[in-house]
């Protein structure tokens, strides 16, 4: 039997990037995976889920919409009657000197990175708790923060503030649930540079603004990592799967950094 056999997992923002790798890892480990993203269910990417992750299901959730979360909760409760694992992966980045940062961008960073996870936790807490009472080690929430939720770089105040909030939101609910005897663990993951669309697009934008070559900026970014390279999404997914699994049964309110050594410097 695989470690997630019989378990149901929901991963936000999981048609691409880190979320996609998480969905694939949980599927390989036996979970019934609800892949969720903002894409239309009839889109090519969404339709491909039935083929790529047999037994999985695509659920459209705009993670910033409370109504979308509530509709997803009703669907999951009706179709599956349980949720063992919630991975709040949706996020977005921005970069700007603080004096040039639009309030709208600041609010979007909070909505995409912080409110999305808050809404997921709030909406699914009852079902996660109910499910957790039926399994040996309870249910698990994994919130995707960033190394930028721990340390600062110039021109990333909105993103860093949001990811720092994800870290402490996670600790808050972990303590709240544990003290109340609610069988849900909650932990955060803090990736460094991960080779996804988000990072590539962000580096291209920064390179264009600085008038430098995008490939040169990618190379400089990789050189800034002690391990000398970006992470592959699958390398983050394995850590998230660990936190989602009973292998981490005594871990709650903690943060796992997966950054090739950057924040150790």
Q: Which is nearer to ligand NAD, 129 or 231 (CB)?
A: 231
Cross-strand bridge partners of residue 217 = none
Q: Is the Cβ–Cβ distance between 38 and 60 less than 8 Å? A: yes
What is the SS3 assignment for 204?
Answer: helix
Query: Sign (positive/negative) of CA torsion 120, 121, 125, 129?
Result: positive
Q: Which residues bind ligand NAD (CB under 6 A)?
A: 12-13, 15-19, 37-38, 61-64, 89-91, 93, 144, 146, 191, 193-194, 196-199
Closest listed residue to residue 97, CA positions, set 136, 145, 154: 154
Q: Which is nearer to ligand NAD, 64 or 125 (CB)?
A: 64
Shortest separation between residue 197's beta carbon and ligand NAD, angstroms: 4
Q: Which is nearer to ligand NAD, 19 or 138 (CB)?
A: 19
Q: What angle do CA 260, 221, 90 make, to 5 degrees?
A: 70
Cross-strand bridge partners of residue 139 = 184
Q: Which is nearer to ligand NAD, 23 or 173 (CB)?
A: 23
Q: Is the Cβ–Cβ distance between 32 and 7 less than 8 Å? A: yes
Phi, psi of 132 (to 5 degrees): -60, -30
Shortest separation between residue 135's beta carbon and ligand NAD, angstroms: 26
Q: Is the Cβ–Cβ distance between 141 and 173 less than 8 Å? A: yes
Q: What angle do CA 119, 50, 39 make, to 5 degrees?
A: 45
Q: CA-CA distances (angstroms) from residue 139 to 123, 130, 134, 190, 200?
A: 15, 9, 9, 20, 34
Shortest separation between residue 181's beta carbon and ligand NAD, angstroms: 30
Shortest separation between residue 219's beta carbon and ligand NAD, angstroms: 16
Q: Which is nearer to ligand NAD, 173 or 189 (CB)?
A: 189
Q: Is the Cβ–Cβ distance between 26 and 19 less than 8 Å? A: no
Shortest separation between residue 201's beta carbon and ligand NAD, angstroms: 8
> Is residue 159 annotated as a catalytic residue, yes or no?
yes
Q: Which residues are catalytic?
A: 159
């Amino acid at each position: 039997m695989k470690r997630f056999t019989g378990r149901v997992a929901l991963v936000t923002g999981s048609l691409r990037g880190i979320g996609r790798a998480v969905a694939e890892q949980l599927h390989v480990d036996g979970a019934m995976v609800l892949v969720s993203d903002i894409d239309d269910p009839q889109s090519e990417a969404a339709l491909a889920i039935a083929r790529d992750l047999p037994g999985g299901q695509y659920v459209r959730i705009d993670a910033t919409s409370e109504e979308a979360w509530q509709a997803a909760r009703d669907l999951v409760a009706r179709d599956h009657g349980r949720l063992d694992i919630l991975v709040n992966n949706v996020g977005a980045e921005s970069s700007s000197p603080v004096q040039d940062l639009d309030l709208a961008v600041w609010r979007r960073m909070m909505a995409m990175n912080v409110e999305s996870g808050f809404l997921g936790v709030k909406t699914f807490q009852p079902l996660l708790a109910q499910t957790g009472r039926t399994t040996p080690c309870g249910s698990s929430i994994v919130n995707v923060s960033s190394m930028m939720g721990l340390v600062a770089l110039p021109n990333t105040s909105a993103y860093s503030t949001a990811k720092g909030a994800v870290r402490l939101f996670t600790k808050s609910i972990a303590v709240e649930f544990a003290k109340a005897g609610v069988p849900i663990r909650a932990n955060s993951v803090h990736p460094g540079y991960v080779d996804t669309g988000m990072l590539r697009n962000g580096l291209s934008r920064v390179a264009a603004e600085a008038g430098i070559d995008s490939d040169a900026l990618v190379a400089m970014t990789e050189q800034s990592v002690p391990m000398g390279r970006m992470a592959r999404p699958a390398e983050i997914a394995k850590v998230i799967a660990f936190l989602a699994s009973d292998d981490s049964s005594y871990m709650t309110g903690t943060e796992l950094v997966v950054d090739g050594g950057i924040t150790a410097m």
